[in-house]
Structure 1
């Protein structure tokens, strides 16, 4: 799966990942490979990204998340 985290000015993070846990409006949720197309509002919290060798946490203050064809786009 690929992920792009975008602010209004630039791409903040772009990488291949195995999974993501994100702070949705009604609670945290996880996305894995071949997830159905999905759009969610994100609230304040922490994105937890996992790739083959690395686990990364990114604090956010809300945004939007879209999943489509193993591409996750997050707009902050």
Structure 2
């Protein structure tokens, strides 16, 4: 599945990933391939991304996350 992390002026990160763990409003949640479509508010915390060869941790201060058709868009 693909992920795009964007701010108001540029794309911060774009890659194929296996999973993401994100800080939702009511706690952390994980998204895997073929997840049902939804939108979530994000709070302060870390996005934990895992691809075939790399695990990455990105600190955020809130935002929005949308999942649709194996594409995840995070707006910070």
Q: Which TM-score tier does this pair reach, normalised by the shorter chain?
A: over 0.9
What is the distance in 2 between the residues matched to 1:51 and 1:18? Answer: 5
Aligned-pair CA distance for 1:29: 0.1
Q: Name the SS of the counterpart of 2:73 in structure 1.
A: strand
What is the distance in 1 between the residues matched to 2:54 and 2:12? Answer: 17
What is the distance in 1 between the residues matched to 2:38 and 2:46? Answer: 19
Structural RMSD (CA): 0.2
| Alignment partner, residue 20 of structure 2 | 20
| Alignment partner, residue 38 of structure 2 | 38
Aligned-pair CA distance for 1:56: 0.1
Aligned-pair CA distance for 1:53: 0.4
| Alignment partner, residue 57 of structure 1 | 57
Aligned-pair CA distance for 1:8: 0.2
Aligned-pair CA distance for 1:5: 0.1
Aligned-pair CA distance for 1:50: 0.1
Aligned-pair CA distance for 1:22: 0.1
Q: Name the SS of the counterpart of 2:23 in structure 1.
A: strand
